[in-house]
Structure 1
Amino acid sequence: MTQVIIFLILIALMVIAFTGVLLLLVYRLIPRVRNKANQKQVTRLKKTALFLAVVMILNLGFVTFTQFAASTPPIDAENSIAELTELELNGRKQWISLRGWDKTKPVLLFLAGGPGGTQMAAVRHELAELEKYFVVVNWDQPGSGKSYDAEKIGSITVDTYIQDGNALTEYLKERFSKEKIYLIGESWGSALGIFLVDKYPESYHALIGTGQMIDFTETERLDYAKAMEVAENNGDTALVERLAANGGPPYYGKDVTWKSAVYLNYLSQYMSSNPKIHNPGYNTFRDIGSPEYGLLDKINFFRGIVNTYNHVYQQLYTIDLRTDYTKLAVPVYFFLGRYDINAPTVLVEEYERVLDAPDKGIVWFEHSGHSPWINERDRFVEEVLSCFLEN
């Protein structure tokens, strides 16, 4: 389904581009036709050019309208909050959504995966129950979704996310009169959560990491080896040959996304086919069609996954939480899918053993892969409440 959406978006862009080129050609041809004294043909060309110009203006108007019309659905409760807000964080304009049945409840910031991913709509759909107990905040990080143009992709670093994550936290603390907030980090966001609680422990009650990333280089090597193993066992010679041609990770340069996607997508499909994993996949068609995203946002939904991931991910290869972040001043809990092979859980178990924190623990989800918050969302919510509100 994702490939279909990308194809349709590319077709739309090609139509717009073709219209512009055709318009230019028409006006270039008009003087030549005049030289032949064919006034009727000149008139037809003018009408065609005018029609194309109107079509282009309407297209631009429609794109602009969808951007301004983007919104998050209302919540029918007396003291609720449901809004999309553009902020300036360290001079970079970025978007967040804020949703909750009661705006006086604790604040929970969800850190999306990626880098370059937006899960603003996905979290609203999958974790709506949390909105009864928290003001749930989703942040489109620089280079993703609605914040794709917050910073030039080539200028984004890991520090960009840490600095802006802190600025966003300060905004939320001030706006909702809170001394601290809660964090949930998913995949890449789970590592970002560790970076934030390490540097700004005074701002956070606790962190939950799910699909937890530990050592980025080792993760990629293990994923590559697992994909090769599965492909060989399944007799998928085309995939084996493609993996062999790419060579093992880590990858650098302009093809990081595409080379990584070969084994990551294969492993995702492998997990989706596992009958022990419930509700196995993302509903990309539903998410991309959600009202939070205008047409440009929908395009940037995919641009972030490709371009931002390609630039930022290779900056993460030197990070290993087992050696770099062994002492934290904030409780940390790991929500792990028993069948997660994208972020090998053995690395999380090793990290949990060496981690020194006020409280820590692993919560296993027996019917989940890389995304327990989707695979077992009801139990995920129960465990979040247990860790955050009952401890």
Structure 2
Amino acid sequence: MRNKNNRLICTSEYVRINGIDQFLYHLGTSFDNPVMLFLHGGPGSAESLFTGLFQDRWEEIYTVVHWDQRGAGKTLTKNPDKLPTIDLMLQDLFEVIQYLKKKYKKKKIVIFGHSWGSVLGSVFIRKHPEDVEYYIGAGQVIGMVENEQVGYNKVKEMIKNADDKKSLKKLESIGEYPGSKTVFDKEFLRKCNVVRKLQGKYKLGMEIGIDIWIAVLKSPIFKFSDIIAFMKIFKANSKVYSFLEDFNLRRESKEYKVPVYYILGERDWQAPHVIAEDYFKDIKAPNKDIFIIPDAGHFLMMDQPDLVFDALSKISKEEKNVQCFL
């Protein structure tokens, strides 16, 4: 595997986790740095191939470990019949963290959850706060129905303000959206696809441009089997999507036992930042802070890598200062 930046830590491996071999990708510049476990989105959308677009400077302050979750990326390729449920994934995550604690001789691990990863991370830190130094949610999901309702209303507002009759006709053609509950069946996914494309047109959500695909092809860990795995994610993660349909953090206690930080894109209406901001105001945690990244969408790390790094630097310094007083 190429190590273009001559990093001290640059390793890809399969580790036996919860009965199957799962893929981990480690990048860093010092064994003294905190270890950050990156929980990717989806479910099923491994982001280990995108590191070249945003992560180089992160490695100055963290050892960053990407995990292709069960049902995603290289772990799915290796285990096509070992598909995830939420309980399996929580146990997987627990075992990954135990492995990293032992490997790097750390008492706790930093969790960075992006999109679906913010769901998995938010559930996990309630169950195992003793293993987590602090939690960072990016593109933080609070509740699926609320997410879709607010995102739909925003793009409809933008379309009407632009007097874009063609786009309005497309949006209205899907009928009621999302309904009283999100159900990830073919009909919902068809409607969701229409909404996402219009959100992309109005720069309100995730935008996958040619630069992202070029970065994927240039990744030192890329294989063509990764593309095949990506095409299988909905079928492979059907049981996790069933869990996600009814997910709502507002129904849980707002008290957290670990520090909580949110980094949100100002123009992210796929996981609308306004919902996460509203929820964040009421949470109680040993330490907390929120960062709104201007001109950034759902893939905020790629849209504004320098500003996201600045937020991570502030979080890292804040946590180091706290540790000095303990």
TM value normalised by structure 2: 0.86
Matched, 1:385 2:316: no
- Give the paired residue count: 313
CA distance in 2, matches of 1:205, 1:211: 20
TM-superposed CA distance for 1:318, in Å, is: 2.0
- What residue is the counterpart of 1:372 in the other structure? 300
Asked whether the 8 Å contact 2:18–2:92 carries over to 1, the reply is yes
Q: Indicate conservation of the 8 Å contact 2:77/2:226, yes or no.
A: no
Match of 1:336 among 261, 264, 272: 264
Task: Give how far 1:311 is off.
Answer: 4.6
Is 1:296 the counterpart of 2:225? The answer is: yes
On the 8 A contact 1:255/1:310 being kept in 2, the answer is no
Whether 1:222 aligns to 2:153 is no
Shift of 1:89: 1.1
Q: Aligned runs of 1:182-193 on 2, under 5 Å? A: 182-193=110-121
| Identical residues among aligned pairs (%) | 28
Q: Which amino acid aligns with 1:157?
A: T
Whole-angstrom CA distance in 1 between matches of 2:154 and 2:235: 25
Query: How much is the aligned-residue C-alpha RMSD, in angstroms?
Result: 2.6
Shift of 1:194: 1.0
Tell me how far 1:258 sits from its aligned partner.
3.6
Q: Following TM superposition, by how much is the alpha carbon of 1:213 offset from its aligned partner in structure 2, in angstroms?
A: 0.3
Unaligned runs of 5+ in 2: 320-326
Deviation at 1:272, TM superposition (A): 6.7
Looking at structure 1, the residues matched to 295 and 158 of structure 2 have their Cα atoms a distance apart, in angstroms, of 20
Separation in 1 of the partners of 2:187 and 2:15?
A: 32
| Equivalence for 2:323 | none
**Higher Cα radius of gyration:** 1
Change (3 A) 1:106 1:247: closer
Bigger helix share: 1
8 A contact 1:98–1:137 mirrored in 2: yes
Structure 1 equivalent of residue 6 of structure 2: 76
Task: Find the aligned partners of 1:153 and 1:244 in 2 and give their Cα distance.
Answer: 36
- Name the residue aligned to 1:270: 202
Q: Which amino acid aligns with 1:340?
A: D
Structure 1 counterpart SS, 2:152 = helix
Relative distance call for 1:245 and 1:379 in structure 2 (3 A) is closer
Gaps of 5+ in 1: 1-70, 274-278
Contact 1:322/1:355 (<8 A) preserved? no
Report the AA paired with residue 3 of structure 2.
P
Does residue 131 of structure 1 match 2:59?
Answer: yes
| Cα distance in 1, alignment partners of residues 127 and 118 from structure 2 | 15
Q: What's the offset of the Cα at 1:225? A: 3.5
Matched, 1:98 2:63: no
Q: CA deviation at 1:98?
A: 0.2
